[in-house]
Amino acid sequence: MCRKGMGKKMRTGTEIIKVSSRTMPKLSAGAIAAIIREGGKAEVQAVGAGAANQGIKAVAIARTYMKAENVDLICRPAFAQIEIEGVERTAISLLVEKAIPEDAHELL
């Protein structure tokens, strides 16, 4: 007999998901949702306009996936310096995490 939550590894910290202009947003969205479901945070990294577009679509799709479970997501965009083939590049970083419900703000 398996109870809900048993047998699943809980994630801690932030996991990086790298996207490109050829990334399929639905696949990245599934990865984001899985990380959030397991208690972690996802950092979507994109270099270039096409990659940023795919990353933003992935976050939007992940948000719809999680809405079915009554979970909302927040996204915090930032710039990040990453290294690609020995060259430092500026990437758009989208930190995705579970939103705190509005009624929980009263408890903080």
pLDDT digits (tens, 9 = 90+) for 22-39: 999 999 999 999 999 999
State the distance between the two ends of the chain, measured CA to CA, in whole angstroms: 37
CA distance 32 to 74: 12
Query: How high is the pLDDT of residue 4?
Result: 47
Mean pLDDT (the chain, rounded): 88
CA distance 23 to 62: 14
Query: How high is the pLDDT of residue 107?
Result: 44
Task: Give 32 or 9, the one with higher predicted confidence.
Answer: 32
pLDDT above 70 for 108: no
Domain residue extents for the chain? 14-100
Query: How high is the pLDDT of residue 6?
Result: 46
CA 18-79-50 angle, to 5 degrees, is 50
pLDDT tens for 73-95 read 999 999 999 999 999 999 999 99
What is 14-100's CATH topology?
Translation Initiation Factor IF3 (3.30.110)
Query: How high is the pLDDT of residue 101?
Result: 74
